[in-house]
A and B are shown apart, each in its own frame.
Chain A
Amino acid sequence: MTTPMLTQEELMNVATSVLEDLCFALVDEESDEDDFPVEATALVRFSGPRDGRLLIRTRGDVAGALVRDMMGEDEEVGDDDRRDGLGEIANVLCGNIVAQFGPVDSAFDLEAPRVGIGDAFPSDASPEVCATVCVDEGMIEIELSSGGAPVS
């Protein structure tokens, strides 16, 4: 049996610190509201010492808020920036997650993030670990899966 990639607590901790450091987001484990509609999904596949994928699904009005906070208030954030920025957030999150897998003697390769509006990429039926983090504007669901199966 292979060791699990991360515990849920470790995944929460990495997600919280990346969102705080990259987007200055105030991250919470719970939200007063829980019926935010799906906004966008971003997917990053990784390979190397272990293979897998990271899927993030934003609910509410999260992508624009995170990208605006990342860029600073004085910057214009258009639709392309929201998309690009959400992909980069997923990329940074994925890189920081694989760095937690323990000592490995070769580097991971991360594919370019794919971003879609709405529920563009389906959930894995049996992800290794999931976490949900809440921000003022909605929530972010994070799924980490192992294996190199192609994504449709």
Chain B
Amino acid sequence: MAINILLVDDSAVMRRLVKKTLKLSGVPIGRIAEAGNGQEALDILEKETFDLACLDVNMPVMNGAELLKNMRKKEETKDLPVIVVSTDNSPARVAQMSALGAPVVAKPFTPETLVDAFVSAIGG
């Protein structure tokens, strides 16, 4: 079954790189929706459902940490598998994200680390 993904990052180039990495991995990818900040992501999540969300942390308007806190408060997204892909993999950030149920993949990532995190998040 194809996996539908919400990809949130303020860099369009980084979104393309993540998409390309996932598509080349052989994991069956379905629909990919993209958002450039946390608020755009929440707007999309009001209307659509996904199997996984992939979140950046440093973004304008609403950052990834705020977005994830908001998602965990909502019935529809409180259990959605999430991976955080961020330049910030400090112990403080990793602990904050892990408390919200999301592993952190550090940028720059290798295709293997990203795909491994993706596969374990969807329970593969």
Contacts and interface: CB of A to CB of B under 8 A. Distances in A.
A107 interface: yes
Contacts of B108: 18, 21-22, 92
B12 A112 contact: no
Contacts of A91: 11, 58, 87
Contact of B58 (A18, A96, A103, A109): A109
A95 B88 CA distance: 5
B78 interface: no
A99 B88 contact: yes
A72 interface: yes
B99 to A, nearest CB: 12
A127 B13 CA distance: 29
Interface string A62-106: 000001001110010000110011011001101110110001111
Contacts of A98: 88, 90
Contacts of B12: 80-81, 84
A49 B14 CA distance: 27
Kindly name the residue among B59, B93, B107, B110 whose own CB sees the greatest number of chain A CB atoms within 10 A: B107
A121 interface: no
B49 to A, nearest CB: 28
A81 B110 CA distance: 21
A100 to B, nearest CB: 10
Contact of B92 (A72, A87, A106): A106
B16 A94 contact: no
Given A22-B107, A109-B58, A112-B59, A99 B13 contact: no
Kindly name the residue among A88, A108, A111 whose own CB sees the greatest number of chain B CB atoms within 10 A: A88
B13 A85 contact: yes
A108 B97 CA distance: 14
A92 B107 contact: yes
B86 interface: yes
A81 B14 CA distance: 10
B67 to A, nearest CB: 14
Nearest to A103: B91
Contacts of A18: 108
Contacts of B93: 107
A110 interface: yes
18 contacts: A21-B110, A22-B107, A75-B20, A81-B12, A84-B13, A85-B11, A95-B87, A98-B90, A99-B88, A104-B92, A107-B93, A109-B58, A109-B63, A110-B87, A110-B88, A112-B10, A112-B58, A112-B59
Kindly list the 3 A-B residue pairs having the minimum CB-CB distance in the complex, ordered from nearest: A95-B87, A22-B108, A88-B11
